Amino acid sequence: MSRKKGYGRFKRLIWVAFGSITFGIIAIFGAASLGLLGPMPDFRQLENPKTNLATQIISADDTVLGKFYFNDNRTPISFREIPTAMIEALVATEDERFYSHSGIDFRGTARAVFYLGKKGGASTITQQLARQLFVGVRSQNTFQAIVQKIKEWVIAIRLERRYTKNEIITMYLNIYDFNYNADGLRSASSIYFSKKPIELDLSEAAMLVGMLKNSSLYNPLRRPEMVRSRRNIVYQQMLRNKLITEEQRDSLAALPITLDFNPQSHREGIATYFRAYLQQFMRSWISKHPKEDGTFYNLYLDGLRIYTTIDSRLQTYAEDAVTAHMSNLQKEFFRQNVPEYNDIAPFLDVEKEDVENIMQQAKRRSERWRKMKALGHDEETILASFEKPTQMEVFGWNGDIDTIMTPTDSIRYYKHFLRAGMMSMEPQTGHVKAWVGGINYRHFQFDHVMQGKRQIGSTFKPFVYASAIDQLKVSPCDSLPDGYYCVEPAKFGAHDAWCPKNSGDRYIGKRTLKNALANSVNTISARLIDKVGTRPVVNLVRNLGVSSPIPNVPAIALGSADLSVYEMVGAYSSFANKGIYVKPVVVTRIEDKNGTVIYQTAPETKDVLSEESAYVTLKLLEGVTESGSGVRLRHRGAEKTNPIFRDLVTGYPYEFDNPIAGKTGTTQNQSDGWFIGMVPNLATGVWVGGEDRSIHFETIAYGQGATMALPIWANYMKACYADSTLVVSKDEFMAPDVVSIPLDCDSLSVARQQKSFFEDEDLSDLGL
C-alpha cells in the first residue's frame, strides 16, 4: 500500500507541476498580451505597422530618378514583385514549416532548446517580423531577452491572425535593412545588383537571403568569401527541401559573389540638380497642403510618389552631353591658364587686388567659414585656418583626386572650372524633360538652371525683334541701315546717349532683319528698340514668364539683364507654341503611400503673341542656324574642312539638316556663352561660363556661345535623334493658316528688300 500511495503522490506532483507550468505559461502569455511585461502594439498598430518609407521621384518614362529619405531608403513592394526563387530560398533557410505553423514553430523551438541552439534558431519568419516591427534588438540581459521572446511569440500569433502568409513574407522583406541604405528588398536589389526585385536570379536572391542572418556580418563588400559561404548554405537548405538538385547546388555554389554595386545618395545618380530643386518645390507644396487631420506630410518618411516630367532618357543624354563637352573645354581652359600665360589664373582683366577681394568673398561664403563662425571663432582664427595644408579629395574630370592643399588653394583650384546649366522643355505642355544644373553636384552644388542668373547677351535680341514684328508687322526681309547709331538720352532718362558698336566694329551698309539677327548685329537691335520702345519689350518678356529684374533702358536690347536658363527656355518656348506661354511644369501628380492622388498639376498658360508674330520670329531664328552664328550646326560642301564646323569632342561636323530655330549669345569679355535651340516639340537652353565674370577665355574663338554652349545642345540632340524610342521632331514648324508678313525674301522685289521699312529713316548716319 505504501508503494501505491507513493506512486499516487508522485503522479499528483507531476500533474501539479505540469499544471503549474501550464498555468505559468498561460499567465506569462496573458501578462504579455495585457501589456504587463511592457508596451504591446494594439490592433491599429498591427493593422498599420509604422515604418519609415522613402519618397520616390518617378520620371515620365516610369524610372525612379531618386528618393528622399533620412535614414530609411525604403520603398515597399508587393508579393507579386518578389521572384519565386527568393521566396523558396527564404522559407527553406529561415522557416521550413512557415506555411504550416501559426506564428510559433513548437517543433523548431523544442529542437533549439534541446540542442541549445546549435542546430538552428527557433525564430519563425513571423517572429522575426514581430521583432523588426515592434520589439527591437535582442537585449544582452537574459531576463529582458526572455521577456522580448515572449512578446515576439504573442505578436507573431496576432500577426498570423491578421495577415496572410504572403503578406507576412512581403512585410518582412520590405522591412529588413541590408546595409548601405538598402532598406527593404527593392532598395537592396537596386543597390547591390542594379536590378528590380523581380529580375533577381537565384544566385542573387540566395545572397540576399543569406544576409538576413546578420547583414552587418555578412557584408558582400567587406567579406565576400563569408557571404559566399553563407549563400551556399542557402543552396544546401533548398536542396534539403527538394527545391533544387544536387547538380544545381554544386554548379551554383561554384559561382563567385558578383555585384553591380550602385550606392544611392542625394548627391549621386541621375538628375541630382533637379532632385535638389524638387526638394525645395516639395517643401513649399507640403507647407501649403496639410492632410485632412491638419498635420503635414513628411517628405522623408511618408512614402510619397512624385511623378515628374523629367524623361530619364533625355536627362541621361543631357548629362552626357554636358560632361563630354565641358571636360574637353576645360582642358583648353587649363592650357590657356598656366602661370606662364596668366599669373593671376584663372582670372583675366582684373588687378591683383581685385583677385584678393574675390578670394576673400569666396572664403566668407564657404562652409568652413560658416561652421567656424558658428563655433565662435574670431575672424583672424578663421582666416588662418585657410592657410593650413589639409588632406582632401578634390574634383577632377577623370575622377576625384586625393591631395594635400590649403583651403585657399582649393578655392582657387575650383574657380578654374567652367560651369554649365541646361534645361530642355516641351513647348506645348511646359513639361521639363531634362535639367542639368552643373558639371558635378557632389562638388558644385549651385544650380545654374534656376538659381544662377547670368547676363544673357544676344539671346535677348529675339524679344526685341518679336516686339517689332507684333507691333509694326515688319518682315524678316525688311532692311535697316547697319551703321553707327545712338539712342537719345531723353528717351530713357539718361545724361548721355547710348551708342552701341558692332562686334569687331564692323558695319556693312544695310542688312535685312533676317541677316541682322543671324549675325547678331548690335546696331540693328539698337534701331529696333528705339522704334518700338523699351517698355513694350520689357512687358513682352514679363508676359513670357521672366520675373528677374529687367532695367527699362535700351541696353537690354543687347542682353544686359541677368536671367536664368529656366526663364529663358520658358520664354523661348512660346515662339514654338504659337505665341502661348506655358509655365514650365516639373511635377504632374503626387500620390500618398496608398496610391491616392493628393496633387494634380494644372497648366498655367497665357496668350502673349499672335500666332503669326510667333511664327515669323521662328523663321528669323531659323536664319541663325542657316547662315549666322549657329551655322556650325550644319555643313555644306567645302565647309566640311573648316575646323569651326567641327565638334570639340568628336572632331566631326554636326550635319543637322532639319529646321532648327536658335540663337547664340556671348557677353562682354566672353564671360557668358549661351545657345538656345528649338525644334517643334523641344526647346533647350544652355549656358556656360566661369563662377565669376573675370573667369573666361581671352579670345572670342573659344569664348563665344557657339563654341562654349552650342556643342552641348548639338550632342544632346544627336543622341535624342539616335534613340528610336523617343519622338523628337525633325519637321518644319507649323505655320498659321494665314501669314500676311512676307517671309520668302527671294521672291520679293529688289526695291522692297532695299527699302527701309521705316519711312522716316535717315540714312545719313551710316558713318561708313
Amino acid at 694: S
Read off the C-alpha cell for 127.
517572429
Q: Is the dihedral of CA 129, 131, 137, 138 positive or negative?
A: negative
d(CA 529, CA 516): 14
CA distance 707 to 332: 12
pLDDT-derived band of residue 34, with 50, 70 and 90 as boundaries? low
Mean pLDDT to the nearest integer, 396-409: 94
pLDDT at 757 over 70: no
Quickly state the pLDDT bin for 207 (edges 50, 70, 90).
very high
Would you call 363 exposed, middle or buried from its count of C-beta atoms within 10 A (0-12, 13-18, 19+)?
middle
Q: How do strand 55-58 and strand 305-308 relate by DSSP bridges? A: parallel
Confidence at residue 108, expressed as pLDDT on a 0 to 100 scale: 60
pLDDT for residue 762: 41
Reported as a pLDDT band with limits 50, 70 and 90, residue 505 is confident
Residue 490 pLDDT greater than 90, yes or no: no
Given a contact cutoff of 8 angstroms between Cβ atoms, the answer to whether 82 and 198 are in contact is yes
Contact 49, 129 (CB under 8 A): no
Listed in sequence order, the residues at least 6 apart from 477 whose beta carbon sits closer than 8 Å to its beta carbon are 512, 513, 514, 742, 743, 744, 745, 748, 752, 753
**Is 70 in a helix, a strand, or coil?**
coil
Residue 24 pLDDT: 53
For the segment 390-406, the average pLDDT, to the nearest whole number, is 94
Q: Which run of H or E residues covers position 623? A: helix 611-627
Angle subtended by helix axes 165-175 and 84-94, to nearest 10: 90
Residue 159 has pLDDT above 90, yes or no: no
Q: Mean pLDDT highest for which of 20-34, 56-70, 157-171, 664-678? A: 664-678
| Nearest by Cα to 252 from 264, 272, 235, 238 | 235
Burial class (CB in 10 A: 0-12, 13-18, 19+), 641: exposed
Of 116 and 30, the one with more pLDDT: 30
For residue 118, what pLDDT is reported?
Answer: 47
d(C-alpha 702, C-alpha 335), whole Å: 12
CB 438, CB 446: distance < 8 Å: yes
Q: Is the pLDDT of residue 146 over 50?
A: yes
| pLDDT bracket for residue 98 (50, 70, 90) | very high
pLDDT above 70 covers a percentage of the chain that reads 84
- The mean pLDDT of 272-285, rounded to a whole number, is 96
744 vs 572, more confident:
572
The grid coordinates listed for 701 are: 574663338
Neighbours of 315 (CB within 10 A): 25
**The pLDDT value given to residue 134:** 67
- 606: helix, strand or coil: strand
Beta strands in 376-513 (DSSP E): 390-394, 401-405, 419-425, 432-436, 454-455, 479-482, 509-512
Query: What is d(CA 425, CA 646) in angstroms, rounded to the nearest whole number?
Result: 26
Residue 123 confidence (pLDDT): 83
> Is 582 a residue whose pLDDT tops 90?
yes
110-124, 286-300, 484-498, 678-692 — most confident range:
678-692
pLDDT at 467: 97
Of 167-176, 231-240, 455-464, the one with minimum mean pLDDT is 167-176
β-strands 305-308, 587-591 pairing: antiparallel
Q: How confident is the model at residue 211 (pLDDT cuts 50, 70, 90)?
A: very high
- How many other CB atoms sit within 10 Å of the CB of residue 487? 21
Single pTM value for the model:
0.82
- Mean pLDDT, range 288-295, rounded to an integer: 92
Taking the C-alpha atoms of residue 454 and residue 471, their distance in angstroms, rounded to an integer, is 29
d(CA 665, CA 706): 8
Helix (H, G, I), strand (E, B) or coil at 7: helix
pLDDT of residue 43: 47
Q: Picking from 36-50, 112-126, 340-354, 655-669, which range would have the lowest pLDDT averaged per residue?
A: 36-50
Say if residue 754's pLDDT is above 60. no
The pLDDT score that the predictor gives to residue 745 is: 82
Q: Residue 738, SS3?
A: coil
Helix axes 165-175, 184-193, angle to 10 degrees: 50
Cell numbers for 177, please give them: 535593412
Band of residue 142 on the pLDDT scale cut at 50, 70, 90: low
Alpha helices, H only, 511-564 = 513-518, 522-532, 534-543
The grid coordinates of residue 207 equal 545572397
Q: Which cell numbers hold the place of 609?
A: 503673341
pLDDT in tens, 58-73: 999 999 999 998 777 7
Tell me the average pLDDT across 712-722. 97
Query: Residue 243 is which amino acid?
Result: L
Q: Which single residue is written with the C-alpha cell 561554384?
A: 254
User: Which region among 199-213, 302-316, 631-645 has the lowest average model confidence (pLDDT)?
Assistant: 631-645
- The predicted model gives 719-731 an average pLDDT of 97
Is pLDDT above 90 for 619?
A: yes
> Average of pLDDT values for 324-342?
92
Q: Report the alpha-carbon distance of residue 605 to residue 573 in Å, rounded.
A: 12
- pLDDT at residue 428 in the model: 98
Pairing of strands 509-512, 432-436: unpaired
Q: Does 463 have pLDDT greater than 80? A: yes
pLDDT at 471: 94
Residue 439: its pLDDT value, please? 97
* Whole-number pLDDT of residue 760: 45
- Euclidean distance between CA atoms 666 and 699, whole angstroms: 12
d(C-alpha 737, C-alpha 612), whole Å: 9
User: Distance between CA 231 and CA 208 in Å, rounded?
Assistant: 8
Residue 265: predicted pLDDT: 74
Other C-beta atoms lying within 10 Å of the C-beta of residue 43: 9
pLDDT (average), residues 229-238: 96
The pLDDT value given to residue 115: 44
Rounded to an integer, what distance in angstroms lies between the CA atom of residue 755 and that of residue 744?
16
Grid coordinates representing 528? 529696333
Closest by CA to 346, choosing from 15, 606, 689, 746, is 689
Angstrom distance (rounded) from CA 121 to CA 126: 13
Euclidean distance between CA atoms 383 and 362, whole angstroms: 12
Name the phi and psi angles at 188, rounded to 5: -60, -40
**Residues 158/164/169/173 CA torsion (nearest 10 deg):** -80
Residue 503 — pLDDT band, cuts 50, 70, 90? Answer: confident
pLDDT band at 394 (very low <50, low <70, confident <90, very high): very high
Q: Is residue 563 within 8 Å of residue 453, measured between CB atoms?
A: yes
Give percent of the chain above pLDDT 90.
Answer: 70
For the ranges 93-107, 112-126, 191-205, 628-642, the lowest mean pLDDT is seen at 112-126
Q: Band the pLDDT of 765: cuts 50, 70, 90.
A: very low
Nine-digit cell string for 284? 513649399
Give me Rg for the CA atoms of the chain. 35
Structural contact between residues 438 and 448, judged by C-beta atoms closer than 8 angstroms: yes
* pLDDT at 764 (0 to 100): 33
**Mean pLDDT, range 60-87, rounded to an integer:** 90
Average pLDDT over residues 688-692: 97
Please report the pLDDT score of residue 421 as a whole number: 98
Q: Which three cell numbers stand for residue 49?
A: 505597422
pLDDT band at 152 (very low <50, low <70, confident <90, very high): confident
Mean pLDDT of the region 380-398: 95
pLDDT interval class at 21 (50, 70, 90): low
Q: At 651, is the pLDDT very low, low, confident or very high (cuts 50, 70, 90)? A: low
Of 597, 565, 573, nearest in space to 455 by CA: 565
SS3 739: coil
| pLDDT higher than 60, residue 496 | yes
Residues 279-290: tens digit of each pLDDT: 999 999 999 999
- Measured distance CA(199)–CA(187) in Å, rounded: 13
Chain centroid to CA 254: how far?
Answer: 40
Phi/psi of residue 308, each to 5°?
-105, 170
Q: Which of the two residues, 461 and 123, has the higher pLDDT score?
A: 461
Q: Average pLDDT over the chain, rounded to whole? A: 87
